[in-house]
A and B are shown apart, each in its own frame.
Chain A
């Protein structure tokens, strides 16, 4: 893999240069920073999972543009869903031992993102034991969902949403691809409703809810269970299918709002344009807060800082665009698993060590709901990250309108919705909005469907939405 990737990058950079496209090709790393093509081809392993991380970064930029920096990102595609959590818009890094790709330890810096097998193509089954399951099996693009009419007979979550009226016959890719609702209906009837002896509507709702719940579990594992309260976050709906699921997931987790960016399908690309060149330089120090080796810490931080700066200078970053970030991996003496904390700038002294130890007690308390303030803290690794600022993409304002959004309604359709988690589904007249006609300040009452080329957004019953200055749709629950 390595040599192939290196070669590919060298070719790409060479061709880009020949075509005079910018100065150099930059690539995203799994740690969420940019590297130059030179550095990427030297260490291709650093690129693993970078696309997923870009989605998280894109979500951070979108949250920030709407004024909500703490984000949970949900990027749903055809076969999988990526989940990321960034408190205050800051990525959390994985412990090195958790940087696995399949069964292999990658052992390179990686931002915390999780991928689960749940997407538009996830197949619903009633298994031999009578259990209703959705995913992780996927119909993929071929044969795809039953409603595509390409020979798929098993019902997928896309079929459920077609049946529920959320995805209309001509809504796929702005009508350039037609789907067949009767095939979706038939697949769900035969494979689910008949087997469970349940009404067709309930079966379709069930497919959606079960899949949404597996995403909820994944988000919960990365937020609540790491000590973060979802009520402090906004959920960014990304990918073609993210805006179909986000409304329900936010409701289940008590996340106060969903933010649907202008173009959910290209959020990862936005992420690529919102980050800086980053080089992380780690070293092991192995010293304790009870008897810290101040000299060693100072010396190593200076050495790492020089290394990071040298890397950036090699990439041609001007001194005024360079900044440094420090962090330390800590654990209680005797433990075997570290947690990372940010470390202050300035010279290392007793106060510096105390600040780091204090920060560790906090993180340990939040992560495991226990802290041991009397125990010495072991400082295992220090890291200095060199940041070379590059210009970022700006999310522009859109045209301003009023609360009245009726101008964007293109039609009304019958769609299946439910009041809350335990109530039965019902068919309701639902307005369908054209995304490109929405203006800032527009307000939408749920249930509603918003269609655009690369995605469809659902606003549930008991929810309403507003369009903010940069065109993001902000979905919130109606006050009780």
Chain B
């Protein structure tokens, strides 16, 4: 497959604006009302999806996206769920359009997951429904969700696979409904080739229901206001989001900002060979380029990233999150095509961020999350109030699987383990939450124990002290699971060799680890990326997630806050003295003010 080389000035997710309607004036009230309606329909779509879904990734972790798009895939609205999904659907639509444009009929439902044609990665099924108005195709309702298994070499997740066909079954723009007629044979074929057919069937129904509700709501809006008014209002809202984002970009001084080079542990096969992540943020007027030149060459495993479906969404998401932080901005700026316009990304062909077909790119999250982290670190010196120190910028996904008691079917359980955030100017990093792009919820222990042959022995904050800083890093989580049956293990994680970076004088964070049978004589540390490891019945797995980096000089931290961390047993009095220059009187458990002042003065000198 040949492709045109990407310009080094980068490309964006913004769609082409070929109009199929008449641009009309929309009065401010109607504009506001249509804007509200678009937002709430995207929200409703997401709710339907996660409540109906079977995959725990969709329903517990909210690993999904949903929205309404014009015929070119320009985004009119999208649910604010997992940032990684925000903005990936336009690329799905581009991929689908390349095969199906001109052939859509009312009642079509299209299933797509091809990572070289817009999919975020192959387990993220996309369901796209064309919307018709008065006999004419005028847009799409679409959604994506992470299903449990896509029938690749390994159950659930994969790392050490040879190419894109080995990672899972590919579906490229397939009409599972044509003109309202369901293609049962095709659906049967799809489900016959995955390990979790019942779950995938339920998820597929949920994805279809989600897009259908979007189609319905959007059509209702058209019935009320007419195509011209609705689409013209959509245009205004896209322009609005664009102008709000551009205004914020103008506030950043022009320049080229480079993050410290980050290193990913390895590619899951060639152990001990770290992979380079180079991120440069170029700010010019009201435009931003995320330049990944200098990042590692593509790897022979699944540890590559689809450019369109994953690199571009992360670039947009990082900039939008940093600049339009809802806590700092008064106005809510809706997610739509306008947010894509000022942000471009570039990655040279043949690198992990823009691999050549047919390299596998199943496991892409840790790399893109590191890009997000690096964008933060690059901008920290010029945006100290917006950027944060390094977070647990990977994804710690573990796929547990095995043969079900009936001896014929598989059980697959994918769990996302949560790390923590880096410190930020004015606040400590958040403890035990998933960071940056991975805005996923944790799965309750009860859910785990009820559904799987696993038991929770431990689930809490890590014992190790958090990374010192004026605002300390967040504390990662630790889990210890006991397997009650022989279990296969696949993982996609990172942050072993290169822990979260401190910012502006804060210390680096703490690395993560996977340990089999921790605390016994059979203790064994596993790599961050494993393929088909086995944990026998009765054995345990301890999972530690990284603690985020500190922000600012720890010697400037309020001594009372240090004391408070000692009270909470996050720190010992020795930690307080050594890392923060705070002397704690261990009789009264108060700060020894004089000794602290003296110690801090001495070290400042």
Which residues of A are in contact with B by a Cβ distance under 8 Å? 127-133, 137, 196, 198, 202, 205-206, 209-210, 213-214, 217, 220-221, 225, 286, 332, 334-337, 367-370, 372
* B331: contacting residue among A131, A220, A367, CB under 8 A: A131
6 more A-B residue pairs beyond the given contacts A131-B35, A202-B27, A368-B52, with a C-beta to C-beta distance below 8 A: A130-B240, A213-B33, A336-B59, A336-B60, A337-B59, A372-B205
Contacts of A217 in B (CB 8 A): 36-37, 40
Given A209-B29, A335-B52, A335-B54, verify A129-B331 contact (CB < 8 Å). yes
On chain B, the number of residues with a Cβ less than 8 Å from chain A's Cβ atoms is: 36
Chain A interface, >50% SS class:
mixed
Given A127-B331, A129-B331, A368-B52, verify A210-B29 contact (CB < 8 Å). yes
Chain B: which residue is nearest A209 at the CB level? B29
Given A128-B247, A130-B240, A213-B33, verify A206-B209 contact (CB < 8 Å). no
Q: Does B327 contact A (CB under 8 A)?
A: no
Given A217-B40, A335-B54, A336-B53, verify A369-B60 contact (CB < 8 Å). no
A344 to B494 Cα, complex, angstroms: 53
How far does the Cβ of B359 sit from chain A's closest Cβ, in whole Å? Answer: 34
Contacts of A367 in B (CB 8 A): 51
Q: Does B558 contact A (CB under 8 A)?
A: no
Identify which of residues 37-75 in chain B touch chain A, using a CB-to-CB cut-off of 8 Å: 37, 40, 44, 48, 50-54, 56, 59-60
How far does the Cβ of A348 sit from chain B's closest Cβ, in whole Å? Answer: 22
Contacts of A286 in B (CB 8 A): 450
* Residue in B28, B44, B60, B199 with the greatest tally of chain A CB atoms within 10 Å: B28
Given A225-B44, A336-B56, verify A132-B209 contact (CB < 8 Å). no
Contacts of A131 in B (CB 8 A): 28, 31-32, 35, 240, 331
A332 to B53 Cα, complex, angstroms: 10
How far does the Cβ of A93 sit from chain B's closest Cβ, in whole Å? Answer: 15
A332 to B209 Cα, complex, angstroms: 16
Contact A210 B40 (CB under 8 A): no
Contacts of A202 in B (CB 8 A): 27, 29
Can you list 18 residue pairs at the A/B interface with Cβ under 8 Å?
A127-B330, A128-B244, A128-B331, A129-B244, A131-B331, A198-B27, A206-B28, A206-B29, A220-B40, A221-B40, A334-B54, A334-B199, A335-B59, A336-B56, A336-B447, A337-B51, A337-B52, A368-B209
A133 to B244 Cα, complex, angstroms: 15
Q: Does B198 contact A (CB under 8 A)?
A: yes
Contacts of B35 in A (CB 8 A): 131
Contact A368 B48 (CB under 8 A): yes
Which residues of B are in contact with A by a Cβ distance under 8 Å? 27-29, 31-33, 35-37, 40, 44, 48, 50-54, 56, 59-60, 198-199, 202, 205, 209, 212-213, 240, 243-244, 247, 330-331, 333, 447, 450
How far does the Cβ of B201 sit from chain A's closest Cβ, in whole Å? Answer: 9
A206 to B37 Cα, complex, angstroms: 16
Given A130-B240, A370-B52, verify A335-B29 contact (CB < 8 Å). no
Chain A: which residue is nearest B239 at the CB level? A129
How far does the Cβ of A285 sit from chain B's closest Cβ, in whole Å? Answer: 12
Contacts of B60 in A (CB 8 A): 336
A131 to B338 Cα, complex, angstroms: 15
Chain B: which residue is nearest A338 at the CB level? B51
Contact B32 A210 (CB under 8 A): yes
Contacts of A209 in B (CB 8 A): 29, 33
A217 to B333 Cα, complex, angstroms: 18
Contact B33 A210 (CB under 8 A): yes
Given A127-B330, A335-B52, verify A370-B29 contact (CB < 8 Å). no
How far does the Cβ of B421 sit from chain A's closest Cβ, in whole Å? Answer: 15
7 interchain residue pairs of minimum CB distance = A132-B28, A206-B29, A336-B59, A129-B240, A337-B51, A334-B54, A127-B331
Contact A334 B240 (CB under 8 A): no
Chain B: which residue is nearest A208 at the CB level? B29
Contact B48 A132 (CB under 8 A): no
Chain B: which residue is nearest A367 at the CB level? B51
Chain B: which residue is nearest A196 at the CB level? B28
A130 to B51 Cα, complex, angstroms: 37
Contacts of A332 in B (CB 8 A): 202
A286 to B446 Cα, complex, angstroms: 12
Contact B33 A369 (CB under 8 A): no
Given A196-B28, A335-B54, A336-B59, verify A133-B331 contact (CB < 8 Å). yes
Given A132-B29, A214-B36, verify A334-B244 contact (CB < 8 Å). no
Contacts of A334 in B (CB 8 A): 54, 198-199, 202
Contact A133 B450 (CB under 8 A): no
Contacts of A127 in B (CB 8 A): 330-331
Contact B450 A370 (CB under 8 A): no
Contact A369 B213 (CB under 8 A): yes
How far does the Cβ of A334 sit from chain B's closest Cβ, in whole Å? Answer: 5
Chain B: which residue is nearest A336 at the CB level? B59
Contacts of B244 in A (CB 8 A): 128-129
Contact B28 A198 (CB under 8 A): yes
A367 to B52 Cα, complex, angstroms: 10
How far does the Cβ of A416 sit from chain B's closest Cβ, in whole Å? Answer: 14
Contacts of B36 in A (CB 8 A): 213-214, 217
* B209: contacting residue among A196, A221, A370, CB under 8 A: A370
Contacts of A369 in B (CB 8 A): 209, 212-213
Contacts of A221 in B (CB 8 A): 40, 44
Contact B213 A133 (CB under 8 A): no
Chain B: which residue is nearest A368 at the CB level? B52
How far does the Cβ of A244 sit from chain B's closest Cβ, in whole Å? Answer: 18
How far does the Cβ of A193 sit from chain B's closest Cβ, in whole Å? Answer: 11
A202 to B30 Cα, complex, angstroms: 12
Contacts of A225 in B (CB 8 A): 44
A206 to B202 Cα, complex, angstroms: 44
A120 to B401 Cα, complex, angstroms: 56
Contacts of A198 in B (CB 8 A): 27-28
Given A127-B331, A335-B53, verify A370-B205 contact (CB < 8 Å). yes
How far does the Cβ of A200 sit from chain B's closest Cβ, in whole Å? Answer: 14
A46 to B333 Cα, complex, angstroms: 36
Chain B: which residue is nearest A137 at the CB level? B330
Contacts of A133 in B (CB 8 A): 32, 331
A337 to B450 Cα, complex, angstroms: 14
Contact B51 A368 (CB under 8 A): yes
Contacts of A196 in B (CB 8 A): 28
A344 to B4 Cα, complex, angstroms: 67
A334 to B40 Cα, complex, angstroms: 28
A220 to B53 Cα, complex, angstroms: 23
How far does the Cβ of A104 sit from chain B's closest Cβ, in whole Å? Answer: 14
A131 to B199 Cα, complex, angstroms: 44
Given A334-B202, A336-B59, A369-B213, verify A132-B52 contact (CB < 8 Å). no
A398 to B50 Cα, complex, angstroms: 50
A137 to B51 Cα, complex, angstroms: 31
A375 to B213 Cα, complex, angstroms: 22
Contacts of B243 in A (CB 8 A): 129
A132 to B209 Cα, complex, angstroms: 33
A131 to B212 Cα, complex, angstroms: 30
How far does the Cβ of A216 sit from chain B's closest Cβ, in whole Å? Answer: 9
Contacts of A129 in B (CB 8 A): 240, 243-244, 247, 331, 333
A224 to B59 Cα, complex, angstroms: 23
How far does the Cβ of A224 sit from chain B's closest Cβ, in whole Å? Answer: 9
How far does the Cβ of A176 sit from chain B's closest Cβ, in whole Å? Answer: 34
Contacts of B209 in A (CB 8 A): 368-370
Contact B32 A213 (CB under 8 A): yes
Contacts of B53 in A (CB 8 A): 335-336
Chain B: which residue is nearest A369 at the CB level? B209
Contacts of A137 in B (CB 8 A): 330
Contacts of A220 in B (CB 8 A): 40
How far does the Cβ of B228 sit from chain A's closest Cβ, in whole Å? Answer: 14
How far does the Cβ of A331 sit from chain B's closest Cβ, in whole Å? Answer: 10
* Residue in A214, A217, A286 with the greatest tally of chain B CB atoms within 10 Å: A217
A196 to B31 Cα, complex, angstroms: 12
How far does the Cβ of A367 sit from chain B's closest Cβ, in whole Å? Answer: 8
How far does the Cβ of A282 sit from chain B's closest Cβ, in whole Å? Answer: 14
Chain A: which residue is nearest B48 at the CB level? A368
